[in-house]
Structure 1
Amino acid sequence: MHITIGVKIFGIAAGLLVLMGAAAGLSMRMTRTVDAQLVVLDKYYFPAYVRLAQANIHSVQESAYIRRLLLALDEGTPPDSTKIEDLRQRTRTSAEASDKELAEARERLNELIPDPIDFDDTVALARLDTHIEFLQEERRRYEAILAQLLEVAAAGQRSDENRILAELDSWRDDFDRRIEAARIEMRRLAGAAILGTRSFQERVVEISLALLALAGLLGLIVAAAVTTGLVRPVRRLLAGTAAVEQGALNTVVPVTSRDEIGRLTVSFNNMVTELRVKAQIRETFGKYVDPRIVAGLIDRPELADPGGSRREMTILFCDMQNFTGFSEEMTPAALVTVMNRY
């Protein structure tokens, strides 16, 4: 198969494009991974942290409304029923909002656990989910104690109210510590995920640059190899031409390729061979044979084959009486004329 120079040059360009395309494709794939990690951060880590913070805020609001509700129950006789009902509604709304935020935080975690950004986060996220589940159970116990507190407060049972309120305050302090710990852990996981994403993004940039540099280096190496393969035969041809110009007709340039340069080298060697044969004919017959005959031999070098050729011929032998005597007295031209007429 003959591979032309044009195909080789096109192959170099195509190879460089393929290498660059592969580097760009890998870089794009890694960039998409970074983008996916950012989506996970935005869709799961941050919302889970915000939900825990909001649950804590609503829980604190609920505690404040409970205090105001207890004060309203103790204010006068009869108590302000409208105010008390409003505070009861606010307390329920805050409690429901806190429960809802905890449930949504768990929902985000449960969606995240199967496919976290960092594999090590799986255990931490599962542990945090269990922690939030415990907080939900504590919230239900808290609501039961709160209902009991409001019942004795409405009945005016001060001693029971103070006892239950102290128990509720103790529970509140423990709940606040637990939900704050959950919020801090979620913030730590989100921060670690951010650092991991940034670190991966930096690696993506470094790997992309390294791949581009490697692709460029490989392209240069291949281009240099192909270019050398093209230039070396040309230089040999130039050297052979110079040698023939100096008279070295035994020059033979090796054929190392099958492209245009290789075919040119074959033609050059054939030309030098023909020149060498003509030079040999001229040297062999030029000293003894008429130049016109030598020129004919040069034009038809097969006639100079030392092996000769075999042909069927008719030969007439005749003897002319006194040929030697009259040939000595005649000019060569006259002698040829006489013989032709004879």
Structure 2
Amino acid sequence: MIGGGLRRHLRFIGRRVAALLAGGATAGLVLGVVEIGFAYSLQAFLAALGVLSLDAASLPSWLPRGGMRTALSLVAFFGVTRGLLQAVQNFLQSVTMEEAQLLQRSRILRWALHGESASSSRVASMFNQRAMVTASTIYSVQGLVVQLTVGALLAAALLAISPLVTLAAAAAMLLFAPLLLWADRRIKDVSADSIAHWDRTNSRLLMSIRNLLLLQICGMQAREEALAQDSLRSYVRKMYRFYTLTSMKMAAPQIAGPLLGCLIAVVSQRRGLMAPAALISYFYLFQRLIQAFTSVNQNMSALIFGLPHYRELFGWWSLAEEDPGSG
């Protein structure tokens, strides 16, 4: 059952991490509202300057009306609140990662010291790479929760301003879907290969340490080092591949976003799709949506890369839960 599976995953990540994820969702919700308020406060500021007429500004009814002092107060309030929420968001993500690492490594330590048997290479891999990447995976989930919440609110605000333009922009962004899906498939392959190369390197290192005297007697240190170095370089090459794919995924919306925003501005002005005042808020919110989409892309890449590590550690934990001595 899905519910039972979800409960097991929540037990695996721990209550503190689950609470931090919930806090991230809340922060994302509030941040999305503040982003919308900040866009309208800039519009009110332009109206106070006389660049826009107050009637043409199309300000929402919930935004306080007034002169320059009111407009500056709104800009300051939403700007400071946005900065504080972004700091909270960053803090929650970082703490989520540390808490996840602490919990998983504590479990591995307990199992290694109290279990009936333990493979040193497996323990080392799980304690170092698996625990670290699993924590990064949970960190990416935190980022996804926050940015998807922000993105949903921004998209709703854009639809409220101009449904036609927003749907057309969404259709244009969908053109990048095949490229992103291709990159995600490659990232999945890279993750599996990197695990194999890391485990091979780790196993050779620990085996060489255990048999160092024998290797010295037989004069095989250079051979074993060469094999371990080759595995290590192969692992690094796979990581370079991962970083290349992730960077490409991040660059695509960052390049397309401003170009598409400029196109929206030109077409809207020529066709009269939006009033100039509404276009100001729309342009700002659209660029923020692109930033959120970029962050979602980045976190999704980390999630796809980390899922094999997460699954392995989750499988070990499930087995240890059923038979504490086995691991």
Common fold by TM > 0.5: no
* Greater Rg over alpha carbons, structure: 1
Normalization by structure 2: what TM-score? 0.31
User: Structure 1 or 2: larger helix share?
Assistant: 2
Which structure ranks higher in relative contact order (CA pairs < 8 Å, sequence separation ≥ 6)?
Answer: 2
TM-score (norm 1): 0.30
